[in-house]
Structure 1
Amino acid sequence: MKRTVSEVEKVSEQNTEASTSKSSQPPPKKRQGLTRCNNVVNATTLLPLRVNKYGQPIDVGSGTYTNYLGTLARKGKLAHLCCKTWWEMPKRLKEDMWNIVKGKYDVGIMSKQWTLSFIGIKLRGYKCEYYSVMDTDAERLANPPPDVEKEHWEFSVRHWGIPMAKEVSKKNKECRGKQIMIS
């Protein structure tokens, strides 16, 4: 049986307490949790960002940039989970996300396509992370992700549970596994 993230953390804490009482080893470090990118959110000036000819971030700051894009993907008011694919996401929401990024980073229009595509990838991973940790739809519906509107989560759970969606997901997973990275 799969467990929720909080159940796994509780069991881990209980095991840690039991093992520390029996041994002299220090307990394992606690996980940091999801990044909030406070350094980006609290920035008062535009953060510099260098990109290559494809609009992808390079050099110093690229990791922080991609982390920040991941935080945007987890914001339920910006990135709706009720959209079956990233391509179905309303253009106005994508534009809102792009404007938020431009408000924090000194990034040109050349990076727009890569940035929005990357947010879409992060959104897919976020949906999968919350969906796959539980076995049943009842569990999934009872434990929606934080910052996601209830209606959006319910729609997503119902959609992912239908046989056609499962078949498409399996096919896409196989295709992604066959892709070759070219550097």
Structure 2
Amino acid sequence: MAPRKDKKQMDEKEGKQKITSPKRLRGPTLKPEIAKKRSEGLKIDIQYNDDGEGVGEGYVQLVSYMGVLARTMVPVYHTDWRVVPMELKEKLWDCVKGAFLVDENSKNNVISSIGTSFRSFRHRLTKEYILPYKDKPEYLLQPPTEYNYIPIEDWRKLVANRLSKEFQVKSKKGKERRAKYVYIHRVSRKGYAGLQEELMQKTGSRKPIDRWVLWKLARLKKGEYDEVTRPVVEKIDELTKAVEEGKITCVGQKDILTLALGTLEHPGRVRGKGGKKKPKQFFNTPKPTKTLEEEECQRMLMEKVKSLEEEIIALKAGKKEPLTPRSEVSSTNIRKQLLQHEEIGGKTHDSAHVENLSAQGTRKASPLTQVYKCKLALETEDNIVAYGTYLRDSQISIDGADILVVILYPLQPNALL
């Protein structure tokens, strides 16, 4: 019997001219650099987000490595990941720990991810190397050259299973389910968690990204949406605007993404968040107190900024309008109490004529005066007592300067500011 050929060789043997696609297909990933680091006693550190999900370049390498383990260490004849012996799963976990600095609490997720890679590998073998040659059994006696490390007996067991009537029925049902999935994402190996981390780094905010925003971005291809996805994206934008204007309220599972798609959530996963998130966990978990405080602070902050802008416009017009009440204003040394600051509105709407407000009256400000939000603390940086906002000229240093601070959200009302 001649050695098992790969798909191209088999097509040529049949006298057919194989038409190659201009798109280069990805071969099996081996990750030799990870094995080299492991042999040198070096491990790749894995970073986690607030939800305990792996993110960053290290996690992308871990995902690739888990795929290597699934292809090379798990016998392909196993019909279900659940029947794979626990001893083998423990060995896979040890391999991961030998190459990566992973949190022990991530063990179940890592093993589950290897299982997902294993199912994907068997699916590819079935789709590309078995079913196309089901009427040519002589081509199915040995594994393809590309995966010649698969033991022949294991390969033949897989072939027998895939050509069985039982599998054909199961495969048909799977194709029917797959046909209903028309919104293809493109988040690659980084997943939704990695996509969210990228956005957080770009915006400088650690606030979780709404899942409908992630859902949209995951389906962008070269800055555009396909014809099937575009109507849903437009619906998401319409609903987002309606929520912002207070016309509708979205609660729990009936949020913007669910309404835009028009279908309920799958019981085993959360759309726009990845397969590791479960609906009961995601939709029934209260927001962290810090997140709620920040949202309330942001709301009050925008109200105060709007009020200040109106006062400035009134002053420019020569009207005698009352300034912000003194009880809400504190002039303080930035080195003592201002922990963090960031621009919240860029230049104000009329940045060329913004005026600073002070206890003594008004004076002309630099054209680059901007509105910033801040946290105020006493004694130590961790003892935050209030959230606020202030105006500052971006051309001068704030170190040691006395500035006007508007307290928006006091955490400790009795604090001596």
Report TM bin, short chain: 0.7 to 0.9
The two structures, once aligned, show a CA RMSD in angstroms of 3.1
Report the residue type matching 1:130 in the other structure.
L
Can you give the 5+ residue segments of structure 2 that lack an aligned partner in the other structure?
Answer: 182-265, 274-417
How big is the shift at 1:51? 2.5
CA contact (8 A) 1:55 1:112 kept: no
Hey, what's the Cα distance between the residues in 2 that align with 1:55 and 1:89? 26
CA contact (8 A) 1:46 1:105 kept: yes
Number of the residue aligned with 1:163: 165
CA contact (8 A) 1:73 1:119 kept: yes
Q: TM-score, normalised by structure 1?
A: 0.75
Number of the residue aligned with 1:150: 152
How big is the shift at 1:98? 0.6
29-38 or 47-56, larger mean C-alpha shift: 29-38
Number of the residue aligned with 1:59: 56
Hey, what's the Cα distance between the residues in 2 that align with 1:88 and 1:52? 32
Of the two, which has the highest radius of gyration? Answer: 2
Counterpart mapping for 1:77-156 below 5 A: 78-133=73-128, 134-136=132-134, 138=137, 139-144=139-144, 145-156=147-158
86-95 or 33-42, larger mean C-alpha shift: 33-42
Report the residue type matching 1:41 in the other structure.
A
Instruction: Report the CA distance shift for 1:52/1:9 in structure 2 as closer, same or farther (over 3 A).
Output: farther
Is 1:37 equivalent to 2:31 in the alignment?
yes
140-149 or 81-90, larger mean C-alpha shift: 140-149
Can you give the 5+ residue segments of structure 1 that lack an aligned partner in the other structure?
Answer: 16-27
Determine which structure has the larger helix proportion and give its number: 1
Which of 7, 28, 42 does residue 5 from structure 1 map onto? 7
State, as a whole percentage, how many aligned pairs show the same letter: 23
Hey, what's the Cα distance between the residues in 2 that align with 1:168 and 1:49? 37
Hey, what's the Cα distance between the residues in 2 that align with 1:109 and 1:30? 38
Hey, what's the Cα distance between the residues in 2 that align with 1:181 and 1:140? 38
- Count how many residue pairs are aligned between Structure 1 and Structure 2: 167
Hey, what's the Cα distance between the residues in 1 that align with 2:109 and 2:9? 36
Name the SS of the counterpart of 1:143 in structure 2.
coil
Instruction: Report the CA distance shift for 1:8/1:119 in structure 2 as closer, same or farther (over 3 A).
Output: farther
Instruction: Report the CA distance shift for 1:109/1:166 in structure 2 as closer, same or farther (over 3 A).
Output: farther
Hey, what's the Cα distance between the residues in 1 that align with 2:49 and 2:141? 42
How big is the shift at 1:161? 1.2
Hey, what's the Cα distance between the residues in 2 that align with 1:67 and 1:155? 26
Q: TM-score, normalised by structure 2?
A: 0.36
Q: How big is each residue's C-alpha offset from its partner over 1:91-141, in whole Å with a ceiling of 9 and x where there is no partner?
A: 111111110000000112221111111111111121121222232162233
CA contact (8 A) 2:143 2:152 kept: no
Name the SS of the counterpart of 1:42 in structure 2.
helix
Hey, what's the Cα distance between the residues in 2 that align with 1:87 and 1:53? 29
CA contact (8 A) 1:131 1:140 kept: no
Instruction: Report the CA distance shift for 1:9/1:161 in structure 2 as closer, same or farther (over 3 A).
Output: closer
How big is the shift at 1:157? 1.0
Which of 229, 252, 272 does residue 182 from structure 1 map onto? 272
Q: How big is each residue's C-alpha offset from its partner over 1:59-101, in whole Å with a ceiling of 9 and x where there is no partner?
A: 22221111111111110xx201111011111111111111000
How big is the shift at 1:32? 6.6
Hey, what's the Cα distance between the residues in 1 that align with 2:127 and 2:26? 21
Is 1:49 equivalent to 2:51 in the alignment?
no
CA contact (8 A) 2:143 2:155 kept: no
Which of 65, 68, 71 does residue 68 from structure 1 map onto? 65
134-143 or 28-37, larger mean C-alpha shift: 28-37
Greater RCO, 1 or 2 (C-alpha within 8 Å, sep 6+):
1
Hey, what's the Cα distance between the residues in 2 that align with 1:161 and 1:124? 17
Number of the residue aligned with 2:363: none
